[in-house]
Amino acid sequence: MSHFDDLENARVRYEMAEHLEHLFQAGIIRECDQPVYGIARLVQDKGQEILTPKQSWHFRTKVEEPYCRPECWRCGFTISVDQAWDVESGDLNDLCPSCRHDWDRM
């Protein structure tokens, strides 16, 4: 693995941790939602690489697919994790950057 790959993995891990924190603060993932809450906190602290296959399935189906990789309702494009959270509205983005740009121009 190259130094660039290490940096890219660290960037992706940081973006996921930041996105998960937004989900926690917005109450989308709550402490009463066990085991999903605990698994999401584990991913936030240590990354997805340490998850067991069962934990990985829970994280993928209950957190990552619905909240970390939303699809644009207009074109179907998967919105990346660094663009999935709309900081201004405090909610998940439902438009990709291209469609958001087009929508804002209308």
Residue-wise pLDDT tens digits, 22-52: 889 888 888 888 899 999 999 999 999 999 9
pTM: 0.73
- Burial class for 95, CB neighbours closer than 10 Å (0-12, 13-18, 19+): buried
DSSP lists the bridge partners of residue 58 as none
* Cβ(68)–Cβ(81) below 8 Å: yes
The phi, psi pair for 71, rounded to 5°, reads -100, 145
H helix intervals, 1-106: 3-25, 36-46, 53-59, 97-105
Say which DSSP state 78 is in.
Answer: B
- Can you give the residue ranges of every domain in the chain? 1-68, 70-106
